[in-house]
Chains A and B, each alone.
Chain A
């Protein structure tokens, strides 16, 4: 089944403890992106990647890192998580970063930083 898979789905951690949220897609999509969803603020883009080894900052990149070493994977790294990074995170991908291409979303990862 064609899909975007995120792990973990739920995570509670403590301030400063590095964590990685994985994202994998099996559709050979070039474009991948991370969003965070917060009440009243909607979806905000953290980082995106146009293709392997090509990444760029979105609207709210502070405190996050990403890498795109292979096409299917786009992990989100929080080197030193803080409570303001408590949020619901979504990974998404599309075949190409062109106008008409539709985003396919993962199921979301709910992160709580204490």
Chain B
């Protein structure tokens, strides 16, 4: 079965420290992977997706098919990065893909 695992419920770092939020997936096909973020009292929104290979707010994520991982990284954390982060996998075929989410990691960046 398709699964997304975020092993850390909570990640606590100090401002300026590197951050890595882990995401592992299990899916035998070609995955479409995303990171969504939920800031306090705001709705979930897309942070980045693997097909874009972009850096958003200093965050990057590389798809590693060998390790089935899509870890989210930022070299220097900022206080405004404190939020809930969800890794999401879309699986399916043809034109129909169903998104499944990990349990989320709460990132707290201390001043």
Please list the residues of chain A having a beta carbon within 8 angstroms of any beta carbon in chain B: 33, 35, 40-45, 48, 50, 59, 90, 92, 96-103, 105-108
Complex: chain B residue closest to A106, CB-CB: B43
| Residues in B whose Cβ lies below 8 Å from that of A107 | 43
**Of residues A43, A59, A101, A106, which shows the largest number of chain B Cβ atoms within 10 Å of its Cβ?**
A43
Contact A102 B101 (CB under 8 A): no
Contact residues, B61-89 vs A (CB, 8 A)? 86, 88
16 sampled A-B residue pairs with Cβ under 8 A: A42-B6, A42-B103, A43-B86, A96-B95, A98-B97, A99-B92, A100-B32, A100-B49, A102-B34, A102-B46, A102-B49, A103-B46, A103-B88, A103-B99, A105-B45, A107-B43
Contact B9 A40 (CB under 8 A): yes
Contact B104 A42 (CB under 8 A): yes
How many Å lie between the Cα of A107 and that of B41 in the bound state? 9
Chain B interface secondary structure, helix, strand, loop or mixed? strand
Interface magnitude class on chain B: 20 to 34
Q: Is B44 an interface residue (CB 8 A)?
A: yes
Contact B95 A98 (CB under 8 A): yes
Q: Contacting B44 at CB < 8 Å: which of A90, A96, A98, A100?
A: A90
Contact residues, B87-111 vs A (CB, 8 A)? 88, 90, 92, 95-104
Contact residues, B9-65 vs A (CB, 8 A)? 9, 32, 34, 36, 43-46, 49, 51
